[in-house]
């Protein structure tokens, strides 16, 4: 075992970095507070006047007391759909919570946001919830209160493979996988949306508020001329006592949530994956010191070992190939007791045994080769992988090309793509270009992917991209016969940089579900532990077969 970390001098530089990170968290917290109001105070008051709980209140009453609900994709749709008044959190809340000490994926429509209507990103978010449930074999509870598809955008949500219908397909697939699904109809449940609760294993319905039908009263009248009200058409008593569609009639939200807890309590035990876990030990250093380690400027170096020392148990690692491929750290460790394999970008400028200086955050041939071998080892040993990304990409230039960087990079990408143990990715800083892929970005199926508030996700860094885009813009202007002044160049560069920076911001990524959540760096251990505990519910892992990896 190797002890890592040292006491950090908390002088001016540290305090400036700490303040920068804490300021990012304060801004993020303000955005969260706004989002968690859903459709706004008036919409919440109107909702509660019906005797209904809000979506988050329902979840909080459903989970075990004193347990934590790990909400995911909270920032979904942030800054999107402004033409329609926005869709805070996409009108759906989901995450992982414990009921009778068992992890569940919990999904709840927020009826204060456009009556819980489904926007395109809402479908994507629900599909992500189901993906997490299937990958980790977690049972699901749906708390349904939705008016169905948001009709002005129906063409973006209805017909394609990853659209609305895929959700019901997943209901069927999860049922065949033996994943329990319980649905509570706590409000409207209309049209195609009616299939979700009814394709679950058991369905509860709240009398007076819950209703489920393929077409509401207005559409029925328009289609076949029949005049009927919604309660007589598909209310609780009709669907439970006449049609037999639903299984339990509940008098209100509280009784419904208690009934779900009672049903869950009787679930049998399922096999586990059996990942190694020992008694947890806290790090030797305060996790909040990560704030003062990370730089304000993303291009500045820092020592990733110091970050690790504030994440891993007892600040202790078994480092693999410590003296080789130094721009990637590979190490076995424990996090909250769980055995993990860590693949982390080292941002310090490092010196090789031959005296060569390597730029931190860049993947060289030797570091790619080392990471590939380590990933294979973790698959052989059944150890979950944790990727800590702060990567600007693979090394470029004639020396790197002649040394076979493409081949070595391809080996690493191959190993990541074919890895079968759970992968958890955290974007600590930069996540650029093919480095995003090699370090297990969203396209490479991490079970969970999180980002720090200072993360940047883009094809390349802002300075490089702005320079390239400026050259293109100047070239286009010259072709059209326009004369470009130095002031024009400065204005173009400022416009390009602002646009590029805003789109590489983690909020932009979180809104589009490229990441599962933006997390407080001090809570890194907590999120990794939750992710591995969730992954431990799936005992089925195919044999690792890396395919063709050229040597």
| pLDDT value at residue 500 | 75
Q: Which residue matches tokens 């994926």?
A: 105
Is pTM beyond 0.85? Reply is yes
Top-ranked range on mean pLDDT: pick from 445-454, 467-476, 487-496: 445-454
In degrees and rounded to multiples of 5, residue 84 shows phi and psi of: -115, 15
What is the secondary structure of 400-458 as a DSSP string? Answer: HHHTTHHHHHHHHHHHHHH--S-EEEEEEEEEEHHHHHHTT-GGG--SEEEE-TT-EEE
Q: Give the residues across from 391 on adjacent strands.
A: 431
Residue 440 pLDDT exceeds 80? yes
Q: Are 250 and 227 in contact (CB under 8 A)?
A: no
Q: What is the mean pLDDT of residues 410-439?
A: 95
Token digits of residue 202: 């058991």
With the C-alpha atoms ordered 32, 94, 260, 263, is the resulting torsion angle positive or negative? negative
- Mean pLDDT (the chain) is 92
Question: How does 131-165 read in b/e, with b if 16+ C-beta sit within 10 Å?
Answer: ebbbbbbbbbbbbbbbbbbbeebeeebbeeeebbb
Spatial separation of the C-alpha atoms in residues 97 and 517, rounded to whole Å: 15
Looking at residue 463, what is its pLDDT? Answer: 67
Q: Is the pLDDT of residue 192 over 70?
A: no
Lowest-confidence region among 63-77, 440-454, 533-547: 533-547
Q: Report, as an integer, the average pLDDT of 223-237.
A: 89
Three-state SS across 75-90? CCCCCCCHHHCCCHHH
What is the phi/psi pair of residue 17, to 5°? Answer: -65, -45
């Amino acid at each position: 075992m190797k002890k890592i970390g040292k006491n950090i001098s908390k002088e001016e530089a540290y305090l400036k970095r700490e303040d920068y990170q804490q300021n990012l968290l304060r801004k993020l917290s303000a955005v969260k507070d706004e989002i968690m109001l859903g459709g706004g105070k008036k919409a919440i008051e109107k909702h509660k006047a019906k005797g209904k709980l809000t979506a988050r209140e329902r979840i909080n009453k459903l989970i075990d007391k004193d347990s934590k609900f790990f909400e995911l994709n909270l920032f979904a749709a942030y800054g999107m759909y402004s033409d329609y008044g926005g869709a805070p959190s996409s009108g759906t809340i989901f995450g992982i919570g414990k009921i009778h000490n068992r992890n569940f994926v919990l999904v709840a429509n927020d009826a204060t946001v456009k009556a819980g209507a489904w926007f395109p990103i809402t479908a994507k978010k629900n599909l992500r919830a189901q993906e997490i449930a299937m990958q980790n074999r977690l049972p699901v509870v749906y708390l349904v209160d939705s008016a169905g598809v948001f009709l002005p955008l129906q063409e973006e949500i209805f017909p394609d493979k990853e659209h609305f219908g895929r959700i019901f397909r997943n209901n069927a697939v999860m049922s065949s996988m033996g994943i329990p699904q319980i649905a509570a109809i706590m409000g409207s449940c209309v049209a195609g949306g009616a299939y979700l609760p009814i394709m679950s294993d058991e369905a509860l319905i709240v009398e007076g508020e819950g209703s489920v039908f393929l077409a509401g009263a207005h559409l029925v009248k328009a289609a076949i001329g029949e005049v009927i009200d919604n309660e007589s058409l598909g209310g609780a008593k009709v669907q439970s006592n006449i049609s037999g569609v639903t299984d339990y009639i509940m008098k209100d939200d509280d009784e419904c949530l208690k009934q779900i807890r009672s049903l869950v309590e009787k679930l049998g035990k399922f096999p586990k994956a059996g990942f190694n876990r020992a008694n947890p030990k806290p790090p030797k250093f305060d996790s909040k010191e990560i704030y003062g380690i990370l730089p304000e400027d993303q291009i500045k170096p820092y020592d990733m070992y110091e970050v690790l020392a504030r994440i891993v148990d007892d600040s202790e690692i078994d480092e693999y190939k410590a003296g080789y491929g130094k721009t990637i750290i590979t190490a076995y460790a424990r996090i909250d007791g769980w055995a993990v394999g860590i693949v982390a970008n080292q941002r310090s400028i490092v010196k090789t045994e031959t005296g060569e200086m390597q730029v931190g955050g860049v993947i060289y041939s030797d570091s790619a080769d080392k990471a590939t071998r380590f990933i294979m080892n973790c698959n052989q040993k059944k150890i979950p992988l944790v990727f800590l990304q702060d990567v600007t990409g693979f090394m470029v230039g004639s020396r790197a090309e002649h040394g076979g960087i493409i081949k070595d990079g391809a080996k690493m990408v191959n190993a990541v793509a074919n890895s079968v143990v759970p992968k958890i990715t955290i974007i600590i800083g930069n996540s650029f270009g093919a480095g995003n892929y090699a370090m297990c970005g969203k396209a490479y199926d991490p079970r969970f992917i999180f980002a720090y508030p200072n993360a940047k996700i883009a094809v390349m860094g802002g300075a490089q991209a702005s320079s390239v885009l400026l050259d293109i813009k100047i070239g286009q202007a010259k072709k059209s016969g326009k004369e470009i002044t130095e002031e024009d160049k400065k204005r173009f560069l400022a416009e390009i940089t602002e646009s590029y920076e805003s789109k590489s911001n983690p909020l932009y990524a979180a809104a589009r579900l490229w990441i599962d959540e933006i997390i407080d760096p001090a809570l890194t251990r907590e999120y990794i532990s939750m992710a591995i505990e969730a992954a431990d519910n799936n005992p089925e892992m195919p044999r690792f077969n890396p395919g063709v990896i050229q040597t």
